[in-house]
Amino acid sequence: MRRVVLAERPDWRSKAAECGFGFHTIDDAPYWDESAYYAFSLREIEQDIEAPSEELHAMALDLLDGIVGNEQKLRQLAIPEPYWDWIAQSWRERQPHLYGRMDFGYDGSGPAKLYELNYDTPTSLYEAAFFQWQWLEDQLARRQLPAGSDQFNSIYESLVEAFGTIARGIARPFHFAAVRDSVEDQGTIAYLRDCALQAGIDCGSLAIEDIGISADGRFTDLDDRVIGCLFKLYPLEDMFRESFGQYLPRSGLQLIEPPWKALLSNKGILPLLWDAHRGHPNLLAAAFDDGDELPRGWVRKPLHSREGANIAMRLDDGRELRTDGPYREGPCIRQACHPLTGFDGNYPLIGSWIVGDRACGIGIREDRSLITQDSARFVPHAIVEETRGVLIA
Amino acid sequence: MKRSKTAVLLLMSTAPLLLSACDRSESASREGLYTSVEACVAQTNDSATCKQAFDKAQKDAATTAPRFANREECEAKYGKEQCAERNDGANHSFFGPLMTGFFLSQMLRNGSPMSGFNSAPAFRDSNGGWQQPAPGGAGGVYRNGAGSAMVPINATADRAVTTSRSGFGRSGSSRGFGS
């Protein structure tokens, strides 16, 4: 794994505009960054990322039977009691799920280490599945990449295939929803909806704020139609505590991601995974936090923190890093500290995409600090033939 | 090759691109629940697709219909004389409901159906509700099928008077909620 500096495509901004990529620059700061790329060997991709991703995904799903009926574990995961039966039923029925992203610390040496599962509302999907793919094709055509370069990225094909597979199980009308004012979240659901249409599924979209409720507790769209299935790019745990949440279990509304994803998109799954697979090479030691002082070499994370918010990291040398954010309350976990490796002062985090149950690609976000936050930039990657140049040099 | 062979945008693209085969024509889908091939033809005017969809649904019904250990359990759910004995091919017999309809969905482009379709058997339970097998089957992008779990068909959209909105979306964030 190397970080390679490469000239940008001169026309990438106009291409972004043509392809609906409205958030390549956020608050005047670059988000899409093709001034460099990460080069991997095929072995690194297949053995160190793809295979462990599928294994960890299976391990996580295998925990669910033991969680849904276990009051102690549901409490550890801070799942509100009124939702227990609803979540359990969604798992027993194997209500269809679509996608998730695992975040790994990996630098090409040693096993990739799982930081967390983003299994409810993962973003950076469009840029990974589409714009990164187009970057590779363009740079190959411009001969800026070694001939035969490839990319770990069949995310698009997998999404269309997944929608096709679950099409029959999606209740209609089917809507995609995200908060109205987030360009990034709106861009993500626009892409997902594009893929669903390509799979032959008729679907609409609306702002999450526009969802209505009827007198008999059913959810409606702006035409007063009862929503059959809602893809919501909005955290389940936030829905639970908002005023309409109480209606969810008896509304008949189908959700994607389904309710059982609340058990996985929760940092509490990390100690449960560790307990079940202690010493697994891709797992970091983890435990539920008791509130005591954080020892050296540990990280504290809230169960539901997103975008690297409210993280406390105590490095081996005693230095402490903290990020602020909105998740000050609520339970936390601890995870053994495995700091990201710096590449020219940048710290890349590997996001490994799972669509359906298939590991099908990666997207890399790099930040200037050890904790990846919403300031991170998306940097493309390529699979490049392993160089034999070392021998010649 | 570890990457998609192509990457297509249907709605998001505003201009034709060389690399991504954009297709901006109006797309939609058509779906329906039919109790006979004739009813399907009357609606779609496409007898070949209706016949194929029916045949496929009938074939799938043998493997995806819910399974019951005896006739009584099956009839309790699906009604008198609505169940038949079936065999899984390994000399293991069980009871399942008779297919009472089929579901057809097709992608349309500029109002005309594109090639290919999805179809599935449909079963009517004793309460009059329509159901189809949940998606699944081993292989493909999903590792485990959902077995013979059944999901309701909402072929026609239901309406209800909305009494309030804005009950979701109040948890504040400057950047959105994705992660």
The ipTM, to two decimals, is 0.91
The answer to whether the Cβ–Cβ distance between B10 and A198 falls below 8 Å is yes
User: Exposure string (b/e) for B6-23, b if CB count within 10 Å is 16 or more?
Assistant: ebbbbbbbeeebeebebe
Q: Which residues of B touch A214 (CB under 8 A)?
A: 160-163
Label residue B175 by pLDDT band (50, 70, 90).
low
A225 touches chain B (CB under 8 A): yes
Q: Is residue A391 scored above 80 in pLDDT?
A: no
The answer to whether the Cβ–Cβ distance between A184 and B176 falls below 8 Å is yes
Q: Does A257 sit behind a cis peptide bond, omega within 30 degrees of 0 on the bond before it?
A: yes
Are the C-beta atoms of A45 and A382 separated by less than 8 Å?
no
Separation CA B91–CA A38 (nearest Å)? 56
Q: What average pLDDT does this structure show over A272-301? A: 96
Strands lying side by side in the sheet with A381-383: A2-5, A36-40, A381-383
Q: What average pLDDT does this structure show over A146-156? A: 97
The answer to whether the Cβ–Cβ distance between A239 and B143 falls below 8 Å is no
The answer to whether the Cβ–Cβ distance between A234 and B168 falls below 8 Å is yes
Nearest to B8 among A94, A137, A198 (CB): A198
Q: What average pLDDT does this structure show over A157-166? A: 94
Give the distance, in angstroms, between the CA of residue A388 and the centroid of all CA atoms in the same chain: 35
How close does chain B come to A207, measured CA to CA in Å? 9
Q: Which residues of A touch B155 (CB under 8 A)?
A: 172
B4 touches chain A (CB under 8 A): yes
Instruction: Give pLDDT tens digits for A256-268.
Output: 999 999 999 999 9
B21 touches chain A (CB under 8 A): no
Q: Is residue B27 scored above 90 in pLDDT?
A: no
Nearest CA in chain B to A220: B162
Q: What average pLDDT does this structure show over A292-316? A: 92
Nearest to A211 among B163, B165, B178 (CB): B165
Nearest to A130 among B9, B171, B178 (CB): B9
